[in-house]
């Protein structure tokens, strides 16, 4: 950040009037925000924040920045007095966080403020006390270089505002959220927060965003965050970097979406919307990812002077920003683990003329008797598909199968407690990786139908072009145009051996049609195939079948999630059980 070297001067009246005036201080966190931004602008390396009663009683921000020169301290508390901006032209390329010259006077007007500061090159420091904006005390004294601003009894003279303050814990949470955001925005600076004398947060200032993630969210969460890295959005003027949570890691609150635009922490609907879109279909309903986005774009592409609190921005090219973010996040997620593009289903009209069909040579094994599962759960000696990197945390321990629950979950015992495994999701994962591996070796197992099937998409649906027909053939379909927009299917991938075949084919086509193109069409087909080939919930499994499924899941490279990103299992640790039973 730029260090303040220029003296403070009052902005010309026309400049001031063109900067929209408004409410700057809404709550204790707004005060903290303004003071911290001033510290950053002053080139501080170490910023210590202290609050009492959520900031209502006291807010203190101490920095080791450039300080305020002796003869400018009082001026700093006058409206539109700033050392950071001279003309309206400079507003388009403002590189400091502050520029409006409004914060200190606004804060001082509604509280009791004490400033202790010593500027670079000055022997003694300045002490200034204000009450309701009026100077009540002024002194010189020895002080370390930097600035300490103490704000007491916020809104003491505006009872209406005081009434709108939320509980101490809510206000304190806003402050700590803010500090962690700035720590993420400036990984090279050290931020500390004390609340009621207790250390709530401290960042190390290593310069690495990942280190701050560990400090903010803990090691376990940080390890499950995916780095956006390079290659994302490089063709655009908008560069997106940062971290996004893997699809299995989510929160019930959207407040873990942190967006930094040119180092400025902002709340922006467009940004949040782009993130949500990127996660579309990956998160359970009502859940939100943890995301820290660093968005960099030329300063003339973004207007930061939208709101006095400067927490809103306006992008010149919203489309470019939206797609850069969406692409960067989506690509990062897709790189880690293949994703479904869209798993919602619409009702096809009567699309299939399903003639009677049976599988050739299937015999009794493939015709499920009532209540029995016709599954070929043989152990596969195939290499695991290259699905992301396999790490220790993905590995599944050896499990002892105990039984089935609700014809949906397999109960297993592992070295560290109990596992509940979703039989459908688990089998989906197994089939998905098997299909990928077979596809990569051009060896997808196929089954010939006794009677061919005629598939006919309705008028609202696109047909299947030659290129896609070729892909389908690679995946084990024997499919050809049959006239009038219909297709004749003579064989299908072996994974589709169970269930309603015609409905499966329709679903697969439909899902592939709705794909948003973030991953290859044939990947969509593979996801759908795995889903439709997998055992359903509600199916009774024998102990043997369950054991086989678990063995296969253990061999999967990403056993803990299904291809849609949902968890395949739930782990209840021995400690948790003991706790629940009051043994600890
Ligand atoms: P702005 O940040 O928009 O310039 P402020 O009211 O926040 O307006 O601050 C007024 C001026 O006071 C700043 O321009 C800066 O020169 C000075 N100032 C405020 N806080 C600090 C600080 N912590 N260290 C050094 N200078 C500061
Ligand atoms: Mg400021």
DSSP string over 179-244: HHHHHHH-TTSEEEEEETTEEEEE----S-HHHHHHHHH-HHHHTTEEE--SSSSTTSS-EEEEEE
Higher pLDDT, 316 or 515: 316
CB 421 within 8 A of CB 320: no
CA-to-CA separations, 445 to 378, 379, 454, 528, 550, in angstroms, rounded: 14, 15, 21, 16, 22
CA 10–ligand 1 middle distance (angstroms): 12
Is residue 435 very low, low, confident or very high in pLDDT (cuts 50, 70, 90)? very high
Instruction: Determine if ligand 1 sits within 6 Å of the CB of residue 64.
Output: no
Is residue 466 very low, low, confident or very high in pLDDT (cuts 50, 70, 90)? confident
Distance CA(206)–CA(42), nearest Å, equals 19
Instruction: Determine if ligand 1 sits within 6 Å of the CB of residue 39.
Output: yes
Distance CA(185)–CA(191), nearest Å, equals 11
- Mapping DSSP onto H, E and C, the string for 309-347 reads CCCCCEECCHHHHHHHHHHHHHHHHHHHCCCCCCCCCCC
Tokens at 459, concatenated: 């008028």
SS3 content of the chain, % helix, strand, coil (to 5): 35, 25, 40
Distance CA(178)–CA(28), nearest Å, equals 11
Residue range 326-347: mean pLDDT, rounded: 60
Tokens at 395, concatenated: 């590995």
CB 399 within 8 A of CB 555: no
Distance CA(217)–CA(209), nearest Å, equals 12
CA-to-CA separations, 200 to 177, 179, 187, 193, in angstroms, rounded: 11, 10, 17, 5
Its CATH architecture, for the domain 13-202, is 2-Layer Sandwich (3.30)
Distance CA(65)–CA(425), nearest Å, equals 55
Q: How far apart are the first and last CA of the chain?
A: 51
CA 144–ligand 1 middle distance (angstroms): 18
Distance CA(127)–CA(504), nearest Å, equals 77
CA 100–ligand 1 middle distance (angstroms): 10
Q: Same fold for the domain at 13-202 and the one at 224-336?
A: no
Distance CA(389)–CA(232), nearest Å, equals 20
Instruction: Determine if ligand 1 sits within 6 Å of the CB of residue 30.
Output: no
Q: Which ligand sits nearest to residue 107's alpha carbon?
A: 1
Q: Whose CA is nearest to atom 12 of ligand 1?
A: 76
Listed by start position, the domains of the chain span 13-202, 224-336, 374-572
Instruction: Determine if ligand 1 sits within 6 Å of the CB of residue 82.
Output: yes
What's the whole-model pTM score? 0.58
Q: Which residues contact 57 (CB under 8 A, 6 or more apart)?
A: 152, 153
CB 186 within 8 A of CB 265: no
Residue range 205-228: mean pLDDT, rounded: 88
Higher pLDDT, 233 or 260: 260
User: Dihedral (C-alpha) 98, 99, 104, 105: value to the nearest 10 degrees?
Assistant: -150
Instruction: Determine if ligand 1 sits within 6 Å of the CB of residue 38.
Output: yes
Residue ranges of the alpha helices (H) in 289-317? none
Q: At what angle do helices 269-278 and 318-336 cross, to 10 degrees?
A: 30
* pLDDT value at 387 more than 60: no
Q: Which ligand sits nearest to residue 68's alpha carbon?
A: 1
Mutating to test ligand 1, I would choose from 41, 78, 130, 151 the residue with most ligand atoms within 8 A of its C-beta, which is: 41
Instruction: Determine if ligand 1 sits within 6 Å of the CB of residue 308.
Output: no
Is residue 10 very low, low, confident or very high in pLDDT (cuts 50, 70, 90)? low
Distance CA(571)–CA(579), nearest Å, equals 15
In this structure, whether the domain defined by 374-572 belongs to CATH 3.30.70.270 is answered with no
Mutating to test ligand 1, I would choose from 9, 47, 98, 309 the residue with most ligand atoms within 8 A of its C-beta, which is: 98
Task: List the Cα angle 524/529/534 in 5-degree steps.
Answer: 135
Distance CA(86)–CA(166), nearest Å, equals 38
Q: At what angle do helices 168-185 and 28-41 cross, to 10 degrees?
A: 20
* pLDDT value at 382 more than 60: no
User: 417 forms bridges with which residues in the sheet?
Assistant: 414, 573
User: 60 forms bridges with which residues in the sheet?
Assistant: 50, 150
* pLDDT value at 337 more than 60: no
CA 35–ligand 1 middle distance (angstroms): 8
Distance CA(8)–CA(83), nearest Å, equals 4
Instruction: Determine if ligand 1 sits within 6 Å of the CB of residue 104.
Output: yes
Quick one: which of 317, 187, 206 has its CA closest to 260? 187
Q: Which ligand sits nearest to residue 85's alpha carbon?
A: 1
Q: Which ligand sits nearest to residue 117's alpha carbon?
A: 1
CB 54 within 8 A of CB 170: yes
Q: Whose CA is nearest to atom 17 of ligand 1?
A: 76
Mutating to test ligand 1, I would choose from 9, 32, 69, 83 the residue with most ligand atoms within 8 A of its C-beta, which is: 83
User: 117 forms bridges with which residues in the sheet?
Assistant: 126, 147
Tens of pLDDT along 262-302? 888 888 888 998 998 888 878 877 778 989 999 999 888 88
Instruction: Determine if ligand 1 sits within 6 Å of the CB of residue 103.
Output: yes
- The answer to whether the Cα torsion of 429, 433, 516, 509 is positive or negative is negative
Q: Whose CA is nearest to atom 25 of ligand 1?
A: 67
Tens of pLDDT along 177-199? 899 999 999 999 999 999 888 88
Look up the CATH number of domain 224-336.
3.30.230.10
Q: Which ligand sits nearest to residue 99's alpha carbon?
A: 1
Mutating to test ligand 1, I would choose from 49, 70, 82, 151 the residue with most ligand atoms within 8 A of its C-beta, which is: 82
* E strand residue ranges, 120-171: 125-131, 134-141, 146-152
CA 4–ligand 1 middle distance (angstroms): 9
Query: Which run of H or E residues covers position 105?
Result: helix 103-109
**Which of these ranges, 253-257, 416-420, 427-431, 560-564, has the smallest mean pLDDT?**
253-257
CB 339 within 8 A of CB 499: no
CA-to-CA separations, 482 to 463, 477, 501, 512, in angstroms, rounded: 12, 15, 18, 20
Q: Whose CA is nearest to atom 7 of ligand 1?
A: 103
Tens of pLDDT along 72-99? 999 898 877 777 666 666 666 667 777 6
* pLDDT value at 20 more than 50: no
CA 37–ligand 2 middle distance (angstroms): 6
Mutating to test ligand 1, I would choose from 5, 22, 38, 115 the residue with most ligand atoms within 8 A of its C-beta, which is: 38
Q: Which ligand sits nearest to residue 83's alpha carbon?
A: 1
CB 275 within 8 A of CB 293: yes
**Which of these ranges, 56-70, 310-324, 364-378, 467-481, has the smallest mean pLDDT?**
364-378
Quick one: which of 332, 342, 338 has its CA closest to 386? 338
Residue range 47-55: mean pLDDT, rounded: 96
Tens of pLDDT along 129-157? 999 888 999 999 888 899 999 999 998 88
- The answer to whether the Cα torsion of 24, 26, 31, 34 is positive or negative is negative
Q: How many CB atoms lie within 10 A of CB 23?
A: 11
């Amino acid at each position: 950040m730029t260090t303040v070297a220029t003296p403070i001067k009052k902005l010309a009246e026309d400049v001031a009037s063109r900067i929209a005036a408004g409410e700057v201080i809404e709550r204790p966190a707004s005060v903290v925000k303004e003071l911290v931004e001033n510290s950053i602008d002053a080139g501080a390396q170490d910023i210590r924040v202290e609050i009492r009663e959520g900031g209502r009683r006291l807010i203190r921000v101490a920095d080791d920045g450039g300080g305020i020169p002796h003869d400018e301290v009082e001026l700093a508390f006058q409206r539109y007095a700033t050392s950071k901006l001279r003309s309206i032209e400079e507003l388009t390329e403002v590189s400091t966080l502050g520029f409006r010259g409004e914060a200190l006077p606004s804060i001082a007007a509604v509280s009791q403020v004490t400033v202790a500061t010593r500027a670079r090159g000055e022997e003694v420091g300045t002490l200034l006390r204000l009450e309701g904006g009026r100077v009540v005390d002024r002194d010189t004294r020895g002080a370390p270089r930097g600035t300490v601003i103490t704000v007491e009894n916020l809104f003491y003279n505006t009872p209406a505002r005081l009434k709108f303050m939320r509980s101490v814990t809510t206000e304190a949470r806003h402050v700590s959220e803010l500090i962690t955001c700035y720590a993420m925005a400036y990984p090279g600076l050290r931020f500390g927060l004390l609340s009621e004398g207790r250390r709530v947060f401290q960042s190390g200032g290593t310069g690495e965003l990942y280190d701050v993630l560990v400090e903010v969210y803990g090691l376990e969460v940080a390890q499950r965050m995916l780095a956006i890295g390079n290659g994302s959005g490089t063709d655009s003027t908008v560069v997106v970097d940062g971290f996004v949570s893997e699809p299995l890691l989510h929160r019930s609150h959207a407040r873990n979406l942190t967006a930094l635009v040119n180092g400025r922490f902002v709340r922006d609907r467009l940004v949040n919307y782009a993130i949500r879109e990127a996660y579309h279909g990956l998160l359970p309903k009502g859940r939100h990812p943890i995301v820290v986005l660093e968005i960099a774009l030329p300063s003339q592409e973004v207007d930061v002077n939208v709101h006095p609190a400067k927490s809103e921005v306006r992008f010149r090219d919203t489309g470019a920003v939206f797609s850069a973010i969406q692409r960067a996040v989506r690509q990062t997620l897709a790189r880690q683990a293949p994703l479904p593009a869209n798993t919602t289903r619409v009702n096809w009209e009567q699309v299939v003329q399903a003639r009677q069909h049976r599988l050739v040579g299937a015999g009794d094994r493939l015709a499920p008797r009532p209540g029995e599962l016709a599954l070929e759960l043989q152990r596969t000696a195939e290499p695991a598909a290259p699905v992301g990197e396999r790490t220790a945390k993905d590995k599944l321990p050896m499990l002892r199968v105990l039984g089935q629950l609700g014809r949906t979950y397999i109960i297993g015992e592992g070295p560290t407690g109990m596992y509940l495994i979703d039989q459908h999701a688990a089998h989906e994962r197994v089939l998905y990786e098997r299909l990928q591996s077979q596809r990569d070796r051009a060896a997808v197992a196929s089954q010939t139908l006794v009677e061919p099937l005629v598939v006919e998409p309705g008028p609202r649906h696109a047909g299947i072009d030659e290129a896609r027909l070729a892909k389908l053939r690679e995946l084990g379909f024997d499919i050809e145009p049959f006239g009038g927009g219909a297709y004749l299917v003579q064989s299908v991938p072996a994974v589709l051996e169970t269930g309603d075949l015609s409905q499966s084919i329709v679903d697969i086509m439909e899902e592939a049609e709705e794909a948003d193109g973030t991953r290859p069409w044939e990947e969509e087909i593979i996801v759908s195939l795995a889903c439709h080939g997998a055992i359903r919930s509600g199916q009774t499994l024998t102990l043997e079948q369950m054991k086989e499924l678990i063995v296969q899941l253990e061999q999967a490279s990403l056993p803990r999630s299904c291809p849609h990103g949902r968890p395949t299992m739930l782990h209840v640790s021995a400690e948790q059980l003991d706790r629940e039973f009051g043994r600890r």
